[in-house]
Structure 1
Amino acid sequence: MIVISNRAGASGIAETARLFSQRGTVLDAIEAGIRLVEADENVRSVGCGGWPNLLGEVQLDASIMDGRTLRAGAIGALTGYLHPITIARALMEKLPHVFLVDQGAARFANEIGAEAGENVIPDTQAVWEKWFRQELTDKEKALWPNAPLTELCKHAIDPEISKDTTVFIGQDSVGDVAAGTSTSGWGWKYPGRLGDSPVIGAGSYADNRYGACACTGMGEMTIRSGTARSVVLYMKKGATVEDAVYEAVEDMRALDGGVIGCVIIHAIDNRGRSKVVSVNGEADDHYWMWKEGYPAPVKELAEVIQISSVPVKKTVMDTYGEGRR
């Protein structure tokens, strides 16, 4: 048994490990761990307390994939509900579809009785309002919310202020593999933007026969590279989990133009071996891992590989104050 989560998963991985140790299913364990991260207001990239889009709305994305059946469920641009991971799993189990977004996702959430709630907390609202007052011109304020957002999205705020989606990948006591993700996405993103988290094959993928992969960071890069599916496919072709991740990193070197930043690739194979690489990352980039026999999850450092020169970007908290941490 093994479970890996990224740094944002610290508040949930102990519960996932507990359920694994009690011989729980990988889907139940991953969902339970992610729900705790979604409820943690100190994680500014996931769920309640996540940073909003340009209009001040917190739009949530999530996905889950069952490596035994290759079924998956994904939710995008969801507002008004607290646990998109649970809604994604219900979609996987109840509908013939894989992906629902926006109003369709909210309608489905209501039909299944998902827990409704407001994800914009007072601190989030205060920081957004300060940005609105300081960054918008009088003309833009007069037109709001119908002012053009393109230049604001490109120039106003560092898109990676939140740093991390949360991802969980694991293998349970019977050998089933799964992957789950949840995020509020880029802070100050263009409304309706979807990153890789809900995109099966880009942000996550799981297959009992080979293993699982999930990514955090600059989702536009992993969408363009098909990273998560590629890692699993390289393992299918005979690569070790380590070499499969390295091949996926090499694929990213072909990216030309667009936003290039940090991506952290988390992978396991079906024998419980793992590899985590931080592309364009920093020396302290880390993740959490638990294996059968461990008394508690442990923090491990990711291997850092630079594929481009990435400038240090200003964050919203640098610009608008510390807020509530």
Structure 2
Amino acid sequence: MSHRRKFLQTSVTGAMALLLQRKALASVTLDKVPVINDPVVISTWDFGKAANAEAWKLLSTGGDVIDAVEAGVKVPEADPTNHSVGYGGFPDRDGKVTLDACIMEGTALNCGSVAFLENIVHPISVAKLVMQKTPHVMLVGEGALQFALANGFQKENLLTPESEKAWKEWLKTSQYAPVINIENQFKPVDPKQLPGGPNNHDTIGMLAIDKTGKMGGACTTSGAAWKMRGRVGDSPIIGAGLYVDGEVGAATSSGLGEEVIRTCGSHTVVELMRQGLSPEKACKNAVERIVNRNPERAKTLQVGFLALNKKGEYGAYAIHKGFTYSVKNGKEEKIYEAKAILT
């Protein structure tokens, strides 16, 4: 009889513990999707301000966060004066403009990407269709172009006269020399400028959260100017140029893509936020990993990270000063300069 009592007591205790555990898990699950009430959209660089404004049109009226980030980054993709994103981007060494882009939503970790895509103005929209219509994450080169054309996109010449002129000037010396933070020194191409010209190694990365707490991000670029044929940087790589996890937050990167790929940069930032770091501190930690691995080399390159957590808090950090980011929410529309490890 005493054994029976002990068995019943143990069963009741175990059942109560299981019930409490289930309630605790239910509570955690509910907390994963907070009600933000005020959407937030942030993006890299000064030209992100116009992109944010376009994304905000959808976010502020209850539009889908993925549609919003797509609409936002399409602005610089179609801007012929922006030589680091889309139409008008500086070409590779062979004079061909090749584009990379990815998009990701944080609820189910759905994502899509295209790389080494030619003759399509909006690679971000192709990446979105890869996410929505295929079982794959990434399509590249001729396959990505074939998919785009099959879905109604039209081939267009992406090499503008201005970009072609800059490329021909570069060919006279064939020296590849990216300049740190040249993105913020934009001016029309001048033949007297050094080879490597304006906006020669960058991208736009955009992160957003809507009123319900759903998160999304997009990243798109024409890559490094005068790059080797076939080179792909971090921008289309999920976990490098962009990562979004709705339980934690999102991050994107800017600068030399090879360094970001080596450290799985954006995923690293998100995981650091998961451990409790603020967006700014998470970005700083990720940047420090790059600097500490080779301090001397870090003096000659730029990498910056931008992050947004599920609470709507944001921050950034870079190797060198000069990396800027744009913010748009219901309270402010502003451009900030990120803190930096080095001067």
The answer, yes or no, to whether TM exceeds 0.5 is yes
TM-aligned CA deviation for residue 160 of structure 1: 8.0
Q: In structure 1, how many angstroms separate the alpha carbons of the residues matched to 2:83 and 2:198?
A: 11
Is the 2:106–2:215 contact (alpha carbons within 8 Å) kept by the matching residues of 1? yes
Residue-by-residue CA offset, 1:133-169 (whole Å, 9 max, x unaligned)? x236xxxxxxxxxxxxxxx668995498525201100
Is the 1:262–1:278 contact (alpha carbons within 8 Å) kept by the matching residues of 2? yes
Query: Highest CA radius of gyration, 1 or 2?
Result: 2
Choose from 149, 172, 175 the match for 1:110. Answer: 149
Q: In structure 1, how many angstroms separate the alpha carbons of the residues matched to 2:109 and 2:137?
A: 11
Q: TM-score, normalised by structure 1?
A: 0.83
Aligned residue runs from structure 1 range 151-162, under 5 A: 157-158=195-196, 161-162=199-200
Q: Name the residue aligned to 1:13.
A: 52
1:187 to 1:106, Cα distance in 2 relative to 1, 3 A: same
Q: TM-score, normalised by structure 2?
A: 0.79
Q: In structure 1, how many angstroms separate the alpha carbons of the residues matched to 2:99 and 2:170?
A: 21
Q: Name the residue aligned to 1:145.
A: none
Q: Name the residue aligned to 2:312.
A: 272
Aligned residue runs from structure 1 range 1-325, under 5 A: 1-7=39-45, 8-132=47-171, 134-135=172-173, 157-158=195-196, 161-256=199-294, 261-282=301-322, 285-294=323-332, 297-306=333-342
1:19 to 1:161, Cα distance in 2 relative to 1, 3 A: closer
TM-aligned CA deviation for residue 179 of structure 1: 1.2
Q: In structure 1, how many angstroms separate the alpha carbons of the residues matched to 2:230 and 2:126?
A: 18
Q: In structure 2, how many angstroms separate the alpha carbons of the residues matched to 1:154 and 1:244?
A: 30
Q: In structure 2, how many angstroms separate the alpha carbons of the residues matched to 1:125 and 1:158?
A: 13
Amino acid at match of 1:79: E
TM-aligned CA deviation for residue 69 of structure 1: 1.0
Say how many residue pairs are matched. Answer: 287
Is the 1:211–1:268 contact (alpha carbons within 8 Å) kept by the matching residues of 2? yes
Is the 1:74–1:91 contact (alpha carbons within 8 Å) kept by the matching residues of 2? yes
Is the 2:169–2:195 contact (alpha carbons within 8 Å) kept by the matching residues of 1? no
Identity percentage over the alignment? 34
Q: In structure 2, how many angstroms separate the alpha carbons of the residues matched to 1:286 and 1:161?
A: 14
Residue-by-residue CA offset, 1:263-319 (whole Å, 9 max, x unaligned)? 12100100000111122233xx3211011344xx2112211222xx9xxxxxxxxxx
TM-aligned CA deviation for residue 124 of structure 1: 1.1
Q: In structure 2, how many angstroms separate the alpha carbons of the residues matched to 1:252 and 1:127?
A: 31
Structure 2 gap segments, 5+ residues each: 1-38, 179-193
Is the 1:67–1:208 contact (alpha carbons within 8 Å) kept by the matching residues of 2? yes
Residue-by-residue CA offset, 1:26-80 (whole Å, 9 max, x unaligned)? 1011000111110011111001100000000000000001111101111101101
Displaced runs of 4 or more, over 4 A: 152-161, 257-260
Q: In structure 1, how many angstroms separate the alpha carbons of the residues matched to 2:140 and 2:297?
A: 24
1:159 to 1:225, Cα distance in 2 relative to 1, 3 A: farther
Q: In structure 2, how many angstroms separate the alpha carbons of the residues matched to 1:280 and 1:271?
A: 28
1:298 to 1:153, Cα distance in 2 relative to 1, 3 A: closer
1:129 to 1:240, Cα distance in 2 relative to 1, 3 A: closer
My pick for the range that moved more, 161-170 or 53-62, is: 161-170
TM-aligned CA deviation for residue 175 of structure 1: 0.7
1:5 to 1:115, Cα distance in 2 relative to 1, 3 A: farther
1:159 to 1:214, Cα distance in 2 relative to 1, 3 A: farther
TM-aligned CA deviation for residue 111 of structure 1: 1.1
Is the 2:83–2:198 contact (alpha carbons within 8 Å) kept by the matching residues of 1? no
Instruction: Provide the alpha-carbon RMSD of the alignment.
Output: 2.1
TM-aligned CA deviation for residue 125 of structure 1: 1.3
1:118 to 1:106, Cα distance in 2 relative to 1, 3 A: same
Residue-by-residue CA offset, 1:190-240 (whole Å, 9 max, x unaligned)? 011111100111111001100000001111111111110011111112222
Is the 2:287–2:304 contact (alpha carbons within 8 Å) kept by the matching residues of 1? no
My pick for the range that moved more, 198-207 or 237-246, is: 237-246
